[in-house]
Structure 1
Amino acid sequence: MDWYFTVFELIDMRSFSNLWFWIVLAVVWSSASHWVLGVPFDMVSRAKRRGGQAAEDLRDLLRINTGRLLYITEEAGLWIVAVGTFFLAGFVVLGWFYAVEIAQALFLIGFPMAMVSLLSVRTARLLRADGLELDAIYKRLSRHRLVVQAIGMVSIFVTAMWGMYVNLSIGVLGG
């Protein structure tokens, strides 16, 4: 029993003081800003610089990914929004009314990612309307990535501030 207590004293299992939570947060936002509509952004940069086959590969991959995203949205979009809203509302209730720290942490990751998902659907629709013209692709994907990075910066800042508040209040209260 003493070993069990020592291990859990060393590895804090609360969300905001757990290193794994911060690693997951960094990976989520790094991935979200790198993979723009399922296309790695370095592929967008290479296609813009070189053109030719790289641009055609980008157009093909984007056509496949936007078609897939829009198909899923048209077929199951309402259900996805309903289930996502249910979970996010549950995280809010559990996190802030019942003080469940993991629910707060999941909401602080999930809510901004839901905004990114809605933004991705909007960008996919705009790209489809543009007819996947290369200049429009570069412009829209760059703008999309910039907005995703802005959402990520605000999200990380808010999560860090809330996490520090929670850690300091628990440390002061001795809980």
Structure 2
Amino acid sequence: MDWYESVFTLIDMRSFSNLWFWIALAVVWSTASHWVLGVPWDMVVRARREGGQFATDLEDLVRIYTNRLLYIARVSGLWILGFVCFFLTVLGGLGFFYAFEFGQAVFLLLFPLSLVGALSLNTARLIRGRQETGDALYRRLLKHRIFTQAIGMVSIFVTALWGMFQNLNLGPFGPG
């Protein structure tokens, strides 16, 4: 046995038993809940607490990101939706129908993020349609963040259950 086989025997390279996958999952959901419509959450808290220029900056930044998101959805939204649906269908089919573990892992990471993307688009439409500012804007961003965190918690829970099932089902050294 050479050193290459020793390393890959010691460090399991399957998705659900790989530490890097779980680190990536935690980083993705931490980042998704911190950046609300492209705005860092600490900026929302500071604007709500101190007001003044911080509130003006927040409202400007939310307006910029909302307009940008809605423009992208209007111009190429159907193409993006088609590609996302195609990609998720391929990942889901490869992962769950053909038992390709990497496909399962990426699907369980990206499918909930697509829900957050749809939620972001809906929140952007509500903010722009109602011209929300001040406390109404803070409440809308908080609600969006809570829904994003709820999706993330359910996603992490389901991914952890599926990953444990895969690890127990396949054993410590994989199939065969």
TM-score norm. by structure 1 comes to 0.97
1:45 is aligned to 45
TM-fit CA distance, 1:172:
7.7
**1:106 pairs with 2:106:** yes
What is aligned with 2:62? 62
Query: Closer, same or farther in 2 for the Cα pair 1:2/1:172, shift >3 Å?
Result: closer
Identity %: 63
1:75 aligns with 2:78: no
The root-mean-square deviation of aligned C-alpha atoms, in Å, is 1.3
Superimposed CA distance per residue, residues 131-157 of structure 1 (whole angstroms, 9 cap, x where no aligned partner): 132122101000000000000000000
Residues of 2 paired with 1:77 and 1:129: CA distance? 18
- TM-score for the superposition, normalised by structure 2: 0.96
Deviations 1:50-96 (A, max 9, x none): 00000001011111111111110101100111000001000111001
Q: Would the aligned equivalents of 1:130 and 1:136 in 2 still touch at CA under 8 Å?
A: no
Q: Secondary structure of the equivalent of 2:171? A: helix
1:123 Cα deviation from its structure 2 partner? 0.1
- What is the match of residue 120 of structure 1? 120
**Structure 1 residues 57 and 99 mapped into 2: Cα distance closer, same or farther (>3 Å)?**
same
Corresponding residue of 2:11? 11
Aligned residue number for residue 93 of structure 1: 93
Q: Determine if contact 2:16/2:163 at 8 Å carries over to the other structure.
A: yes
Distance 1:172 1:160 in 2: 17
Aligned to 1:13, what secondary structure does the other structure show?
coil
Q: For residues 164 and 35 of structure 1, what CA distance do their matches in structure 2 show? A: 29
CA 1:167–1:139 in structure 2 vs 1: closer, same or farther (change >3 Å)?
Answer: same
Residues 32 and 148 in structure 2, CA contact (< 8 A), matched pair in contact too? yes
Change (3 A) 1:88 1:52: same
Aligned to 1:34: 34
**1:11-30 deviation digits (Å, cap 9, x = unpaired):** 21100000000000000000
The runs of at least 4 aligned residues of structure 1 exceeding 2 Å deviation read none
Gapped regions of structure 2 (runs ≥ 5): none
For residues 67 and 147 of structure 1, what CA distance do their matches in structure 2 show?
21
Structure 1 unaligned spans of 5+ = none
Tell me the distance in 2 between the aligned counterparts of 1:157 and 1:117: 20
Using the alignment, how far apart are the partners of 2:157 and 2:93 within structure 1?
22
